[in-house]
Amino acid sequence: MERIPILRMGDFLLVTIQVDMHDRLARTLQDDLTSQIERTGAKGVLIDISGLEMVDSFIGRMIANTSAMSRLLDANTVLVGMRPAVAITLVELGLSLAGVDTALDVERGMKLLRARLAPSSRNGRHQV
């Protein structure tokens, strides 16, 4: 079955979505990601959606939910690389993904996660 790979990089997990999501794929990803966080004890999750060209309300909600689930498992989630068209669609759908951290690309997302995890730093400025 088709699966979205979850890569481990130190304390972080990197999920790169390069194909258009359909509902079952999204559910599988949620299952995989939560169990991976539990098994590896990851402190941060980066979801790269730069390959995602289309979203619907289900995928939008799934992204918000995945991030909320990771937070429950004590892992910060940063959503990176959202395309302009996807951002506009989500806003028009009324999904502002409040509470989800965002960054322009994986590199900046990683920096943001590190800043979050550094004990001395205050909360990053992207938090809403």
Partner 1 sequence: MAHARVSTADILKNDMTGLLADWMSELRARSDNRISGSDVEAQATDLLKLIATASETNADVGSADWGAVRALLDDVSRTRAQQGFSAQETATFVFSLKKPLFGRIRRATEKDPAALAEETWAATELVDALAMHTVKAFQKSREDVILRQQEEMLELSTPVVKLWNGIIALPMIGTLDSARTQIVMESLLQRIVEIGAEIAIIDITGVPTVDTLVAQHLLKTVTAIRLMGADCIISGIRPQIAQTIVHLGVELHGVTTKATLADALAVALERTGQSISKVQPS
Of 47, 59, 81, 113, the one binding partner 1 by CB under 8 A: 81
Of positions 3, 39, 122, 125, contacts partner 1 by CB under 8 A: 125
* Dihedral, CA of residue 116, residue 121, residue 122 and residue 125, to nearest 10: -60
Among 43, 61, 71, 83, binds partner 1 (CB under 8 A): 83
Residue 111 backbone dihedrals phi, psi, to 5 degrees: -60, -40
Smallest separation, CB 51 to partner 1 (Å): 14
96 in Cβ contact with 57 (< 8 Å): no
**Is 42 within 8 Å of 70 (Cβ atoms)?**
no
Based on the shown chain and the rule CB under 8 A, indicate whether residue 17 belongs to the binding site for partner 1: no
Question: Are the beta carbons of 58 and 26 closer than 8 angstroms?
Answer: yes
Compare residues 43 and 108 and give the one whose CB is closer to partner 1. Answer: 108
Decide whether 7 or 104 has the Cβ nearer to partner 1: 104
CA–CA–CA angle 72, 14, 43 (5° rounding) = 40
The site for partner 1 (CB under 8 A) is made up of: 79-84, 86-88, 90-92, 96-97, 102-105, 108-109, 125-126, 128
